[in-house]
A and B are shown apart, each in its own frame.
Chain A
Amino acid sequence: MGTSAAGWLLAAAALAPLGAAWAAAKEEPIKPIPLTMQADSRKVALGQELFFDRRLSRGEKMACASCHRFESGGAFPARFTTGAEGKPHVVNAPSAFNVAFNFRQLWAGGAGSVEEVIDQVVRSPLVFSSTWDEVIARLARDAAFTERFKRVYPEGLNAATVSNAIAEYNRTLTTPNSRFDRYLRGEASAISKDELAGYEMFKKYGCVACHQGVNVGGNMFQKFGVMGDYFKDRGNVQPADLGRFNVTQRESDRNVFKVPSLRNVALTAPYFHDGSAATLQEAVDVMFKYQLGRPAPAQDRQLIVQFLGTLTGEQPKAPR
């Protein structure tokens, strides 16, 4: 009995640091991505086919996956993508990964759901430049696909069902188990000392006031240029720079954008809605200058960049 009690005490003592680490992790302003997501696998399978299907675009020139590259963290590795009619887009393609954790979609929050994004993408002259009538007609010519689709969506092919299928798939594209998430779940050795120091800097400089939650952002709006006029300094101001103002027409929303998620940020260069920062170092410099009102000390910036690298999770695999 005494031995047993002593054993329990020893075990409790041994586990105490783990418990403390766990308790501390629970209080962190960044939360780990859930390890599983609920989804209808039949809809997801259809959505996956459609995500890579060029028939959604005019001239069957491009698919969702053309701009949301799996090898680039779900983003596009250049400033702007080119649409089905050869026109360049006016904002950088945001990542298609972890969109399930965004409170609204797109840079200015112009879509309340992933379905709305798909609707906009299909009809936008800068992307698929198509119409739903054209898309449905092209898909309907494929009897086998139509039949399979009807088995899952009895109402058949239409704008709502096609958008929903793609969105169902899109919402499963999450990147759990990043080294930082493992650290948050109690695996203290998952990140290095420097990366942890970078996280402390990230909190100390206040970055975490906006970049928080499961998606390390993606759950609020903020003005780009709280402490300085980014757009005046950058020059060549474009209508897209007005951000959320373009959605609401409210003066207070001028230059306001959704705070982007920093998940997989090491893979998603270039950065910002204008794709103006080619590297993470540059992006951190811009944030220090315009959101904090001071330059970034070189060593601290380096540590923060190292920390950001720990946010890269397990990447979804593109079908072969």
Chain B
Amino acid sequence: MTAATPDRLERAGLVKLALLTVLALAAAAAWVALGSTLAPRRDTTTQRTAQSLLEKLEQEDAGWNVDVLSAGLGLDTTYDAIAGRKQRVDAALSALAALASQGGGDPGMRGRVDILRKVFEEKADVVETFKSHQSILRNSLRYLSTAGEEARGVLDAGEGDAKAREAARATLDAALSQALRYAVVGDEDQRSRLSAATRSLDEAVARMSDAAPAKAQLLIVLTHLQTVLHQKPDVEALLRAIVDSPTRKVLEDSRPDAPH
């Protein structure tokens, strides 16, 4: 047996103290850890749901752009996909708004959802304007070949100066061809070519007497050529505005883990 010396007693006391300190620290750490796990559990769940809704919105937003571009390129000849996508975006936004109204320990969430709603509403307005303008453009492009055929038919069957009729027909064909090219290559050079071809046709029509049988048909063609000239740049600008819409950026900023 070893006798307990004051030194050994002091050392044992120090060890106990150290053990107690470690235990106390461990308990405090456990309390803090437990507290941080339990107390914001509701917040974490809300954040996870919000995160998942934001991811859904990101997917729908990207899909929306694809739908619009598909319509813009004529790959999709209906607007059903675009309309369906908008309904899914609205549903996800409503779910987010409902989540934000519950609070969930994130006081900034409501404000961020309001901003999201605003940018998506603005995008939806541009998409609607795009559909309206593009359908007018599509209508004119579809109809131009029919109108051209009708005008050619009247010119071919017409009476009077054969040379003048032949010249009018050549001007008409050139304008129709430039319109189709402009539909595919919508740059400024091609726009200038179509503009010039339309002017030539306009001048040819102006030289015709009001009684000329082809005049009415050619005036219809001119109206639709002008429509293509006006609508094409509008449609392209709207397409750019849609794909450049800040929805993606605002979605990224809205993530719960983004610095706010």
Contact = CB atoms under 8 A, between A and B. Distances in A.
B122 to A, nearest CB: 13
Given A220-B132, A222-B132, A223-B132, A212 B140 contact: no
A292 B78 contact: no
Interface string A220-232: 1111001100000
Please tell me the size bucket of the interface on B.
Answer: 20 to 34
Interface string A186-227: 000000000000000001111111101110000111110011
Given A103-B87, A227-B223, A293-B220, A220 B139 contact: no
Interface string B58-87: 000000000000000000011110110011
Nearest to B138: A209
A212 B220 contact: no
Q: How large is the interface on A (under 10, 10 to 19, 20 to 34, 35 or more residues)?
A: 20 to 34
Contact of B142 (A30, A101, A103, A208): A208
A203 B142 contact: yes
A212 B81 CA distance: 12
Contacts, number: 77
Interface in A237-288: 252, 256
B10 interface: no
Contact of A294 (B83, B139, B220): B220
Contact of A209 (B82, B135, B146): B135
Contact of A226 (B129, B131, B136): B136
A94 to B, nearest CB: 17
A28 B146 CA distance: 19
Interface in B65-111: 77-80, 82-83, 86-87, 90
20 contacts: A31-B78, A103-B79, A204-B142, A208-B77, A208-B142, A209-B142, A212-B80, A213-B79, A214-B80, A219-B78, A219-B79, A219-B80, A220-B79, A256-B132, A291-B139, A292-B139, A292-B143, A293-B223, A294-B147, A294-B220
Interface of B: 77-80, 82-83, 86-87, 90, 128-129, 131-132, 135-136, 138-143, 146-147, 220, 223-224
Given A31-B78, A221-B128, 12 more contacts: A27-B77, A29-B78, A103-B79, A204-B142, A205-B143, A209-B135, A212-B78, A220-B83, A220-B132, A221-B132, A293-B223, A293-B224
Interface of A: 27-31, 101, 103, 112, 203-210, 212-214, 219-223, 226-227, 252, 256, 291-294
Which 9 pairs from chain A and chain B are nearest by CB? A206-B139, A103-B83, A209-B139, A29-B77, A213-B78, A209-B138, A213-B80, A206-B142, A206-B143
